[in-house]
Structure formats: C-alpha cells, structure tokens
Amino acid sequence: MSTNDTAAPILSARGLHHSFGQTEALRGIDLDVHAGEVLAVMGPSGSGKSTLLHCLAGVLVPDGGSVTYRPAGRSAVETSALGEPERARLRLSDFGFVFQFGQLLPELTAADNVSIPLLLAGTRRPEALRRSRDLLERLGLDGLGAKLPGELSGGQAQRVAVARALVTSPAVLFADEPTGSLDSLASENVLTLMLELVREAGTTVVMITHDARTAAYADREVIVRDGAIGAGYRVSA
Amino acid sequence: MNNSLTLLGLLSRGPSYGYDLKHSYDRYFGAGKALAFGQVYSTLARMVRDELIRALGEETGGGPDRKKYEITVAGQDRVRAWLFTPDVPSESLQSELFAKTVIALLLDDDAERLLDVQRSEHMARMRELTRLKRDAGLLQVLMCDHGLFHIEADLRWIDLTGARLTQLKKELQSA
C-alpha cells in the first residue's frame, strides 16, 4: 500500500446524508480514502454502499454533508458543491469506473470500447487506439482488440471494461462489484490484473463488493450497514 | 490433517528413506510448519509395528535415516480406504464465536461489535493469504484457497448472525 498517512486524503466524505423518497440510504457517513489506497466497501444489499460510491464519485449530489476531492498538484475541490457539467468533466478527467456487467457498447470492438474515454477527452483516434491496444495487451487480451463484446468470454469482457476505466490513467478508480458476474477463477484473474495495474500506477481504488475474497485484495475494508459505517471500522486508514 | 496417513500415502509412490519422506512431506504440506524428524521416525516405527510398512534392511553405519521403508499390501489398503472415506463436514456445530455471541446477548452486551471485531480479524487473515498467493506456485495457491474459502464460510455465518441479532436476542431472553 502506498498510503501516506500524513498526507491529506484524496477523498473525504463528511456527514453524508442521502434519501430516495422516504428511504434514507445514507445516514451521516464520514470516510477518508488515501491516495494509492485500495479500499473495499462491503455490506449487505440495500445498505447504501452504491449510494456512497455514487456520492464519492460525483455521480450523485448528497442531500447533506460534503465530499472533497484533493487531486495531486491541484487545489482541493468540494465535488458535492459542483453542478452537473463540472462533475461530468471531473469524472471524465480524473475518475474511472467499472461496473458489475462491464456495460460495453455491443456494436463497438473491444479496442473501440476502450478508446471511448480518450476520444471524449480529445485524443486523436489513432493515438487512442494505440493506447487501448497497449492496455488490452497488459490485461492479457492481445489480439482480441478487433472482437465485439459478444464474441468475448465474461472474464475477457470484464478485462476490456477494466481497460476502458484505466485508459485515461485516472487518479481514482470506482468499481462496483467488478467481478460480481464472474466465476471464481475468472474473477481472480480480473482482480489480479486490475490491481497489478492500479498499484503500479498508484491509482486509488474504491471497490464495492459483497464478496470477502474480492475484498481481501484491498488494503482495508469498511462495512456499510443501514446507511452508516459499521462500528469498529475506521473512517481513515 | 492426519500426518501418519499422509506419510503412508507418500510412501505408496515407492520405497523411501525416512529422511526423503520428511522432505517430501515438507515440500507438499509443510508450508509454515515443517514436520520434525522425531515425529517422522516415531510414526514410521508405529506403522512398522502395525504392519502397514516394512523396513528393507539397514545400510551400514546408519542411524534411523539409513533405513529404507516400503508400504505393505495392508498399508496400500489403508491408504485407499482413507482416500475415499469422506471427512465429517464441520465436526463441531458450536464454535467459540457462537458461544461468545450467545453470552454477549445474554449479558445484554454489544454482540454486533464482537462480530465486527471477528470479521476484521478474518479479513486481515484473508488479505494475508491473498498476498501469499501473488507469487506462489499452484500448490501453495491451492492451499491458500482452501484457507480462504473456509474463512469466507465463517464470514457468511457472521453476516447472517449479524442480521439476526435482534431476533436472536428476543428468543434468548424469552427462553
């Protein structure tokens, strides 16, 4: 773990509250994530862990409390106070996302799927494709760049999703059950490769999982229970 | 793990010296806990007495490590019976953690906290085993996986019990 305990956390949530209608999803969450840390967020279904991830990643604006993001070499920004266009820009430039079911575009090849975030950020197509193919190779998918997602196995498709999330070298990777749809062996393969890349790059990871074996790849874990961090779990590393 | 039968199983591959058997055992099963020479020789002596193995004569100048052993037909039968007799799944239904949880509830203490403390300890061990797997050979990976899946089963029990604490407390207090 490359966590520096003396440095300010890269992400801090304070007093997060959020409700969906009458349902309180988050009830006053405080959480720090340190740069380079791989944090697993565990908890039962409906405990609020996905809502927490969405608030940390600037997908959702919490009803109460704040989220502060401190990028290296730039000023800290309270993401929960930004409007949607600013948050969208920040997500594109600084964050990467992996979801349970890859969510690849079925009509695009693997390499084109991986290129999307680069093209959106203004990289020229030949350069975007070159970087995508390099990354696919690092993930053991050399020669599969021209395949459509439907032609790939579940594990291969999820590795394409990981490549797409990491191709912009994000500061923070948010992963929501990244291997939830895979069998044990494929899951282990995806996690090992993903964490090798993020640890090498010093990427911070916030990973939601209900699976203890997946969480064991992280540096530490917190449990979210009824919208709050479980007693006995430290808010900070 | 039954060390005697494991040694007998290793000896089924062909005659061997006690010294070589011990190293063979350590190579496959001794991660973190090598077998003592004394234990190997006392086990071999017992198996000779029980006619599961026999000594093939001593080489000159030798202590016990100069003796070669081979498995007998009775020994081979014992190994096969051992291999194909299933282990009793989870021998004890009442673990220490089960007892602690019940006592905490009876004392009106914080059972959720003790489950969290245990969960944290289990997770730390799982992280350790997961780290060990990183540069390990397949044999060690397999051993770590065995540990990981067992700890995971405990964690599932912890999760389920955690979700049932209120109901459990009511039941215990009305009993």
In chain A, what are the domain boundaries?
11-229
Distance CA B17, CA B13 (A): 12
Interface check for A223 against chain B (CB to CB < 8 A): the answer is yes
Distance from the A213 Cα atom to the nearest Cα atom in chain B, whole angstroms: 7
| Minimal CA separation from B2 to chain A, in Å | 28
Sort out which chain B residues have CB atoms less than 8 A from A218's CB and list them: 127
Q: What is the pLDDT of residue B28?
A: 85
pLDDT by residue (tens digit) across A11-62?
999 999 999 999 999 999 999 999 999 999 999 889 999 999 999 999 999 9
Residue A217 at interface with chain B, using a CB cutoff of 8 Å: yes
Unique residue bearing structure tokens 């039954």: B2
Query: Which runs of E-coded beta strand occur in A21-138?
Result: 23-33, 38-42, 64-69, 77-78, 95-98
Closest CA to A139 of A178, A95, A90: A178
Which of chain A's residues have a Cβ under 8 Å away from the Cβ of B127?
216-219
**What pLDDT does A3 receive?**
45
Encoded amino acid at A13, one letter: A
pTM score: 0.82
Judged by CB atoms closer than 8 Å, whether chains meet at A216 and B163 is answered as no
Residues of chain B with Cβ-Cβ distance to A233 below 8 Å are 116, 120
> Does ipTM exceed 0.85?
no
Interchain pair A213, B126: CB under 8 A = yes
CATH number of B3-83: 1.10.10.10
Taking an 8 Å cut-off on Cβ atoms, the answer to whether B163 and A233 are in contact is no
Closest CA relative to residue A145, chosen from A158, A161, A129: A129
Size of interface A-B (CB pairs under 8 A): 41
Over pLDDT 70: what percentage of chain A? 95
Name the helix (H) or strand (E) containing B162: helix B138-163
Q: Which of residues 34-53 of A touch B (CB under 8 A)?
A: 44
pLDDT digits (tens, 9 = 90+) for A58-116: 999 999 999 999 999 999 999 999 999 999 999 999 999 998 877 899 999 999 999 99
Domain A11-229 in this protein, CATH class: alpha beta
Q: What is the pLDDT of residue B172?
A: 85
Query: Do residue A213 and residue B120 have CB atoms under 8 angstroms apart?
Result: no
Closest to B147 (Cα-Cα) out of A216, A194, A232: A216
pLDDT tens string B91-120: 666 688 888 898 888 888 889 888 988 898
